[in-house]
Structure 1
Amino acid sequence: MTQRFVRMTNRLIAAGLTATVMIGAPAPALAATQWTVVDEDSRLGFEATQQGGEFEGRFESFDADLRFSADDLPGSRFDVRIRTGSVETGSSQRDSALPGEDWFNVDAFPEATYVADEITSTAEGYEAAGTLTIRENTHPVTLPFTWETDGNRAFMDGSVVIDRTRFGVGQGDWSDPSVSDHEVRVVVDLTLSKAQ
């Protein structure tokens, strides 16, 4: 009888400890929201200078896996894949040259990617620390951006200046900065909808 009583007491103590641990355990982490790009209201583009004249361009085709919640920055991440052959600048001569070997060389490198899995808040908004890959050249790029949420919609705006030559973009005569400036501003202007 004594041994049975001891076993029952031990079981009750174990159950009580388990309940205490469960009650004191932190709540599960929030899952960052997945967002879908609203193509017709979004722009992924760039601003550059050629022979002293500024021009703008955009990529008409890209896929973006965007997971973002201000309450779950550790769970937020961006994974963007850009089809470089979809570039448009409004100039037929430039648009026919950019997919070529000296520039994006789309036959060999049809996609550029940007992957960021470290997103932090700043005084102005947020920063995404990631890596940009163009023509198999990968370098760290930190993108400052703002994010506004309105119900099931969100609006992301950001820009960052990169040196195109680090990614092998603009070779041969185009590597001369007096012909085409090395600095290019990448512009992100996205309208997003909450994924269902």
Structure 2
Amino acid sequence: MKKTLLLGLLGLSLAASAAVLKTDPAKTTVSAVFKQMNVPVEAKFKKYNIVIDYNAAAPDTSKATVEIETASLDVGDAEMNKEVAKKEWFNSAQFPKASFVSSAIKSAGAGKLTVTGKLTIKGRAADVSFPITVKTEGGKQVFDGALPIKRLAFGVGDGEWKDTSMVADEVTIKFHVVGQ
């Protein structure tokens, strides 16, 4: 009886330490950082869905899924926002969402994780791996990271926009995710 009760309590405490985190949209940001004519630009995505099933006690059991509405990229100008949704850029009509699905999350030391998974943009998928930091702030889990990619590998910027002297091929997807 005591052993069953102890195992049950242990199971409950482990289940309580692993939780699917709901993101706080007021504090969470996802952006694309790139250079346009050699000038740094940071554009924010306004619509996304991030699901993190995080277990601080056993990070390797954690999972993350991200979906970003490509037409929600705000580059700071209404006309340019329409432009990046066009076929040459994100082709948001045919590919309304970019996604990331983790395949592994590993501890990389205190407050650090290495996340591996599949990134899909404009129908093209690639295996990626990147570091993130995780901390508890005000009772909430906070995840910060950056994923460098090459936009042309995903077909973002076709036709005349393949010219990397106008818009650099290197793009960094930055995120600051606050879980509730």
Deviates more, 1:121-130 or 1:176-185: 121-130
* 1:81 paired residue number: 67
Q: Distance in 1 between matches of 2:160 and 2:138?
A: 50
**SS of residue paired to 1:30:** helix
Instruction: Describe how 1:1-196 pairs up with structure 2 within 5 A.
Output: 30-31=14-15, 32-123=18-109, 125-150=112-137, 152-193=139-180
Q: How high is the TM-score relative to the length of structure 1?
A: 0.80
Give the AA of the match of 1:37: T
**Larger strand percent:** 2
Task: Write the letter of the residue equivalent to 2:20.
Answer: Q
Aligned-residue sequence identity (percent) comes to 26
Using structure 2 for the length normalisation, give the TM-score.
0.87
CA offset at residue 42 of structure 1?
1.1
Which 4+ stretches in 1 moved above 6 angstroms? Answer: none
Work out the number of aligned pairs and report it.
Answer: 172
CA–CA distance in structure 2, aligned partners of residues 58 and 151 of structure 1: 25
Q: State whether residues 117 and 129 of structure 2, in contact with CA within 8 Å, keep that contact through their aligned partners in structure 1.
A: yes
Q: Partner amino acid for 2:166?
A: V
1:96 Cα deviation (Å)?
A: 1.7
1:25-59: CA deviation from partner (whole Å, max 9, x where unpaired): 9x659343211111011101110111122111111
SS of residue in 2 equivalent to 1:156: strand
What letter corresponds to residue 161 of structure 2 in structure 1?
A: W
Measured after TM superposition, the shift of residue 151 of structure 1 is: 6.1
Q: Which moved more, 1:169-178 or 1:120-129?
A: 120-129
Counterpart amino acid of 2:28? S
Structure 2 SS opposite 1:95: helix
Instruction: Specify every segment of 5 or more residues in structure 2 that has no aligned partner in the other structure, as ranges.
Output: none
Does structure 2 conserve the Cα–Cα contact (< 8 Å) formed by 1:30 and 1:72?
A: no
CA contact (8 A) 1:76 1:117 kept: no
Aligned CA RMSD, in angstroms, stands at 2.2
Q: Which amino acid aligns with 1:168?
A: G
Q: Aligned pair in 2 of structure 1 residues 30, 75: CA closer, same or farther (>3 Å)?
A: farther
Larger Rg: 1
